[in-house]
Amino acid sequence: MSSLTPHGEGFSFLDTFVLSSSPQSGHGTKWLDPKLAFFQDHFPGKPLMPAVLLIECAAQAAGALWASIQGSQAPAHFVLAQVLQFKVLCPVLPGETIKSHITLTTSLGNLAQFDAVLSVGESEVARGRIVLGIALDVGPSHGEKS
């Protein structure tokens, strides 16, 4: 199965993505396979989805939305530039499916701001606001010698 994101299979948190009737919003889903490695250690015997990975679900869905909006002009990938706010309302467990509803609120050149609401079934589990940036190829990573 090909990934909807530029991430490797082990770090893809987006199984499906669909644009909403409004071209500025869409929703993605991710089924949380109980065999995912992070569930083994977070927390042993009582596994739950790490909050930072909930943010990653939102960021990947936001990237899919922004790429859909930009169409053939979309860059190869985006990066999470800032988490403006994010609140986890309840635990997300192995075997559940997360639905990420994403809305583009502001776009300015190489940056775009998105509102995200994550839910499992009919229950809201997290919400927040994030900023994505267009990934620029600027050479070696910070701290890496060329």
Catalogue the active-site residues: 42
Q: What are phi and psi of 132, to 5 degrees?
A: -110, 155
Q: Find out whether 67 and 74 touch, Cβ atoms under 8 Å.
A: yes
| Per-residue tokens: 70 | 């930009």
Asked whether the beta carbons of 79 and 138 are under 8 A apart, the reply is no
Instruction: Read off the amino acid at residue 135.
Output: A
The answer to whether the beta carbons of residues 58 and 128 sit under 8 Å apart is: yes
